[in-house]
Structure 1
Amino acid sequence: MLVVGCDPKSDSSITLVGRRIPTMMDLILDGREIKEEDVVYEGYRGVKCIEVGGPEPGVGCAGRGIIVAIDFLRKVSRVLEEVELVLYDVPGDIVCGGFSAPLRKGLVSQAYIITSGEYMPLYAANNISKGLVRLNTPLSGVICNSREAAAGREKEIAERFAEELNSRLVAFIPKDPIVQQCERRAVTAIQGAPNSEIAQVYRALAREVMAGAEPRTPRPLSDERLRELSME
């Protein structure tokens, strides 16, 4: 398995590798001769990790950086072809079209949207679904990463949102202090607390993803309906 972190924060792989790793964009901008071992790092349980990175704040386009990095990666490594599963961790709150690079390049077979039950995350998730429609990419499901919002009705709101979006709620991940504790130790919850309830939630989510849900064309909600849903 390969995890490709496409967030400018470059934090997708910290809990897998145990530390921050150099980003492809930093190495490219340094003008160095790059080899596979400079950008591909092995983490927990043999998961390979790459961080794309991005430009300095206020300079350049982070989305464009993803396109450059993927093209460059193919020149120095065959890792994309050698692994059985590639997971692209792409931020959804940035509207730059460059962040759809994995979709535009035909590298994605399943797309999942991660959100919570609050209005702004739902708004971002709805925007992502609009992008999927434009790119003719079906949606395999919605994942709710709970922030304990909506007075305990967060799961219900997430389920309604997924249903009206013509999708389904694949997993509801409850807020658990174990996750933050493991993040501070730079380990995954499954590694740091393998017998915890939250670890079981993540394992169940992994089984759902690997089973491959039937993808559907999303039907984005209107802004008015989205606000109504978040306030019901």
Structure 2
Amino acid sequence: MAEKLRQEASEELDAPETGPATKETQVIAIYGKGGIGKSFTLANLSYMMAQQGKKVLLIGCDPKSDTTSLLFGGKACPTIIETSSKKKLAGENVAIGDVCFVRDGVFAMELGGPEVGRGCGGRGIIHGFELLEKLGFHEWGFDYVLLDFLGDVVCGGFGLPIARDMCQKVIIVGSNDLQSLYVANNVCSAVEYFRKLGGNVGVAGIVVNKDDGTGEAAAFAEAVGIPILAAIPADEDIRRKSAKYEIIGRPGTQWASLFEGLASSVAEAPPVRPTPLTPDALLGLFDGDTVGRDVVLIPATIEQMCGKSDITKPTLEVIYDNA
């Protein structure tokens, strides 16, 4: 045995690989206001990427677990958190086939979250990624990993990919309304905050969904210094097909060129450092009639609050009646 070990130790090692990497995964986090169309955008984007020959993993990181519903024709996937709980009770381990499913080349899974009032959604996200790491997340061989995150929740779990440099870049889905751009601005603020702490994540751009041509999202993108990756029109055909869980981002269809262009932009757009707007600057993108900037804040009075006159006590000293 000793001689065998000496012989093995004396053998010349293979030279280290010095050529360029043959595979590099782009991990991209997509953020936006709830209901703005992140899941619609991602389902069609991931489908188009797969049809272009890319190996794509779509991970839903929203407690609603609706990211993959359009991809699978309205069917709900078993979530990682739900499956993990059931397997734990049964004394079993979670396997890839329990939580990851495939359609036309797109791999997809849902992290899930706790039921309403029974836990923290952000903590559920953290737990889900811990389980993904145990399943070999960092060893999987994908061209793109797309993470669908709710943007209008501010707890730490939802900021995980930005705070921990888990992704290379962020893409925002927004529209021409104040609330979605408020969320978009918050995401830019989060990116800038962690960049100041030494982070490397940047914003690659914004996808304008349900674009009605009014231009507020375009003005926002220009103001914060990020590009528009695609503008998806507010079209009745898109709305109707999406409501029926149809994929519209198929090669050769009416909307194919839109998602082909988005796929190229997502792949090639570099992450940039945004310049978030102040609340007043964000309001300035809209007409005063739209957001009510002429409203004056009128201080309330104690009489209005209590329905009686204000009793002013000159001192806190307790005065007792004479005995």
TM-score using structure 2 length = 0.65
Look up the match of 2:233: 174
1:215 aligns to 2:275 (yes or no): no
SS at match of 1:10: coil
Q: C-alpha deviations, 1:118-145, integer Å up to 9, x for none?
A: 0111111111111111222311111111
Which one has a bigger Cα radius of gyration? 2
SS at match of 1:146: strand
Query: Aligned equivalents of 1:206 and 1:55: distance in 2?
Result: 33
1:24 aligns to 2:84 (yes or no): no
Look up the match of 1:126: 185
Look up the match of 1:112: 171
Tell me which stretches of 4 or more aligned residues in structure 1 moved more than 6 Å.
none
Query: Aligned equivalents of 1:7 and 1:62: distance in 2?
Result: 8
Q: C-alpha deviations, 1:84-131, integer Å up to 9, x for none?
A: 110001111111121111233332112111110101111111111111
| RMSD (Å), alpha carbons | 1.9
User: How many residues are treated as equivalent by the alignment?
Assistant: 223
Query: Which residue, out of 192, 206, 210, partners 1:146?
Result: 210
Q: Is the 8 A contact 2:80 2:112 kept in 1?
A: yes
Q: Aligned-pair distance for 1:60?
A: 1.3
Query: Which residue, out of 61, 64, 88, partners 1:6?
Result: 61
Structural mapping, 1:84-99, within 5 Å: 84-99=143-158
SS at match of 1:89: strand
1:39 aligns to 2:95 (yes or no): no
Query: Aligned equivalents of 1:98 and 1:79: distance in 2?
Result: 19
Q: Aligned-pair distance for 1:79?
A: 7.5
Q: Aligned-pair distance for 1:15?
A: 2.0
> More displaced, 198-207 or 2-11?
198-207
Look up the match of 2:253: 195
Q: C-alpha deviations, 1:174-214, integer Å up to 9, x for none?
A: 112333333344331124x9521x3321221111111x213
Query: Aligned equivalents of 2:155 and 2:118: distance in 1?
Result: 14
Query: Aligned equivalents of 1:48 and 1:79: distance in 2?
Result: 15
Q: Is the 8 A contact 1:133 1:218 kept in 2?
A: yes
> More displaced, 53-62 or 173-182?
173-182
Structural mapping, 1:149-164, within 5 Å: 152-153=213-214, 156-164=215-223
Look up the match of 1:15: 70
Residue type of the alignment partner of 1:15: L
SS at match of 1:140: strand
Query: Aligned equivalents of 1:9 and 1:183: distance in 2?
Result: 17
Residue type of the alignment partner of 1:171: A
In structure 2, stretches of 5+ residues that fail to align are: 1-55, 196-200, 289-323
Query: Aligned equivalents of 2:148 and 2:142: distance in 1?
Result: 16
Query: Aligned equivalents of 1:213 and 1:157: distance in 2?
Result: 22
% identical aligned pairs: 32
Name the one with the larger helix percent.
1
Look up the match of 1:51: 110
In structure 1, stretches of 5+ residues that fail to align are: none
Q: Aligned-pair distance for 1:221?
A: 0.4
Q: Is the 8 A contact 1:178 1:189 kept in 2?
A: no
Look up the match of 1:64: 123
Specify whether residues 207 and 83 from structure 1 end up closer, same or farther in structure 2 by C-alpha distance, changes over 3 A only.
Answer: same
Q: Aligned-pair distance for 1:80?
A: 5.9
TM-score using structure 1 length = 0.88
